[in-house]
Amino acid sequence: MSILVVSGTGTEVGKTVVTAGIAANQLRANRSVAVVKPVQTGVEGDEPGDLAEVQRLTGADALFEFERYSDPLAPAAAARLAHRPMADLKVAATRIQELAAQFDMVLVEGAGGLLVRFDDAPTTFADLASWFGAPILTVVHASLGTLNHTELTLAHMRSHGLASAGVVVGSWPTSPDLASRCNLRDLEAISGGRLRGVLPESAAQRGQFEFGQAAYEGLDQSLQGCFDAIAFRAKHDPT
What's the pLDDT score for residue 87?
94
Torsion region of 206: left, alpha or beta (phi above 0 gives left; psi -120 to 50 gives alpha): beta
Active site residue 15: no
68 lies in which domain range? 3-236
Contacts (Cβ under 8 Å, ≥6 apart) of 129: 5, 7, 108, 135, 136, 162
User: What value does the mean pLDDT of the chain take?
Assistant: 96
**42 with 70: CB under 8 angstroms?**
yes
**59 with 208: CB under 8 angstroms?**
yes
Task: Report the domain count for the chain.
Answer: 1
What's the pLDDT score for residue 225?
98
User: What are the tens digits of pLDDT across the range 139-154?
Assistant: 999 999 999 999 999 9
What's the pLDDT score for residue 106?
98
Report the CATH number that the domain containing residue 39 is assigned in CATH.
3.40.50.300
Amino acid at 200: P
What's the pLDDT score for residue 45?
84
pTM for this predicted structure: 0.96
Q: For residues 9 and 46, what is the distance between their CA atoms, to the nearest angstrom?
A: 28
**235 with 228: CB under 8 angstroms?**
no
Q: Is 103 helix (H, G, I), strand (E, B) or coil?
A: coil
- 15, 37, 90, 235: the active-site residue: 37
Question: Which parts of the chain sit beneath pLDDT 50?
Answer: none
What's the pLDDT score for residue 16?
97
